[in-house]
Amino acid sequence: MATSTTDPIDVLTDVARARARGEFRELAAMLEFRDLELERIEAEVESAIKRFNERGAIALEIGEAMGFSEGQVQYRLSFADTVRDQSPTTWGAFSEGRVDLARVREIGHTISQLKRAESVHRLDQRVVTYAETHTVAELRVWLKQFVRRVEADLAVERADDERAKRHVSFQHGDDSMGFMGAYAPSHEIAAVEDRIRKAARRPVDADDQRTVAQREVDLLMAWLLSTSSRAESVIDANIAVTVDADVLGGANPGFAESADGRWGVPAQWIADVAGSGSTFWHRIVVDPVSDDVLAHEYLGRFAPDVLNIALRFLYGTCQGPGCMVPAERCDIDHRVPFPHGPTRGDNLGPLCRRHHTYKGHGILHWTTRPEPATPAA
């Protein structure tokens, strides 16, 4: 009887790569058909109107053959063209199954945001190494940070333009309910999020049967419907941002980025808040020197608040593989369990409750990431 020594996890990896190669063949075939049709139309069709119509019908033909709508075909062809023509390293990795369609789509979207050929070249050199070892969500964060860092001046201009478009929207739906949204600066959205999450999780009366989600919306509506007419806002939240030293000093344009990587705003926006005098700031300098707060060791099991805050700022998210739960909603866990492992920065890090439970049952063998996943500029 034949036997196999293949590790079952390797089988899953092979399946994932085979799926990605299949996605590449699908997209490459769509591009090839489109290119051949364009050549045929240019060579054979004399009427300008007919050429226009036949070119427009290419997406329809592809969609009918593959079960896609015209819009889906056009979208796929658009980012496929971008990646094939401007990121050969990514396209080659895609053909080998090292990155899949979802990652290629994110990379294509980022290339379309970059305005300088040098920036696209730098992305092509670096992105595959990160993309093939991280989840799509992590890659999306990395790409946003890359754009903000390599074209900071242009990104600040775009952010200022978008800030001018801030607005609220209201939509009434069925069953007596509706939706309300605000298009606003990310640091203000983060402050509102922090405030409402904390307030909704405070102890409630035993008779209160509402879920946390219900308490959150009830609090928001109560705040908005209060009788106060004061228009100015006061940011009262514990928000972690990182700013490069040259940006903080005003030498270069740049961004203040959230610890979890979900958002970034021009550093000047944060400076304006700091200068208002209405906000209390912690400043944590992350530097590998002997007296850095992360290098101190504490004899007890539970780290003091200043170390907890520093660790949450440093890592940003849960350190479970691919987990994007913000660090402020995580437990601070010992990599090597206490008392065998010390209560100090290099043995501590955030784990969400689910991954903390997995680690406690021996399912997750957690090690701290050596450094935050930040793209080099």
pLDDT in tens, 51-110: 899 998 999 999 999 999 999 999 999 999 999 999 999 999 999 999 999 999 999 999
Asked whether 186 and 197 are in contact (CB, 8 A), the reply is no
Distance in angstroms (rounded) separating the CA atoms of residues 194 and 121: 38
Distance in angstroms (rounded) separating the CA atoms of residues 8 and 12: 7
**What is the model's pTM?**
0.71
Angle between helices 88-95 and 101-113 (to 10 degrees): 170
Which residues constitute the domain of residue 34?
8-133
Q: Average pLDDT of 286-294?
A: 47
Q: Specify which of 110-124, 196-210, 343-357 reaches the highest per-range mean pLDDT.
A: 110-124
Element at 110 (helix H, strand E): helix 101-113
Q: Average pLDDT of 199-207?
A: 81
Residue-wise pLDDT tens digits, 164-175 = 999 999 999 988
Q: Is residue 277 domain-resident?
A: no
Q: What is the dihedral of CA 295, 297, 302, 305, to 10 degrees?
A: -50
Q: Is residue 322 domain-resident?
A: yes
Distance in angstroms (rounded) separating the CA atoms of residues 147 and 149: 5
On the question of pLDDT at 131 being above 50, the answer is yes
Q: Helix, strand, or coil here: 6? A: coil
State both tokens at 146: 């890359």
On the question of pLDDT at 15 being above 60, the answer is yes
State both tokens at 360: 């406690």
Question: What was the pLDDT predicted at 27?
Answer: 95
Question: What was the pLDDT predicted at 98?
Answer: 95
Instruction: State the CB neighbour count (10 A cutoff) for residue 103.
Output: 25
Distance in angstroms (rounded) separating the CA atoms of residues 359 and 353: 10
Confidence bin at 291 (pLDDT 50/70/90):
very low
Q: What is the dihedral of CA 259, 263, 267, 272, to 10 degrees?
A: -100
Q: Average pLDDT of 354-365?
A: 84
Nearest to 316 by CA among 373, 248, 375, 254: 373
Nearest to 191 by CA among 116, 241, 228, 251: 241
Q: Which residues are CB-neighbours of 171 under 8 A, at least 6 positions away?
A: 178, 179, 180
Q: Helix, strand, or coil here: 291? A: coil
Domain stop point among 112, 133, 154: 133
Return the higher-pLDDT residue of 271 and 353.
353
Q: What is the mean pLDDT of the chain?
A: 83
Confidence bin at 33 (pLDDT 50/70/90):
very high
Asked whether 58 and 37 are in contact (CB, 8 A), the reply is yes
Backbone angles phi, psi at 209, to 5 degrees: -100, 5
Q: Is residue 283 domain-resident?
A: no
Q: Average pLDDT of 267-283?
A: 67
Q: Is residue 352 domain-resident?
A: yes
Q: Which of 108-112, 201-205, 294-298, 309-313 has the lowest mean pLDDT?
A: 294-298
Question: What was the pLDDT predicted at 232?
Answer: 53
Domain stop point among 76, 99, 133: 133
Q: Is residue 146 domain-resident?
A: no
Q: Is residue 336 domain-resident?
A: yes
Tell me how many domains the chain contains.
2
Q: Average pLDDT of 239-261?
A: 78
Q: Is residue 28 domain-resident?
A: yes
Q: Phi/psi class of residue 91: alpha, beta or left (left: φ > 0; alpha: ψ in -120 to 50)?
A: alpha
Q: Is residue 102 domain-resident?
A: yes
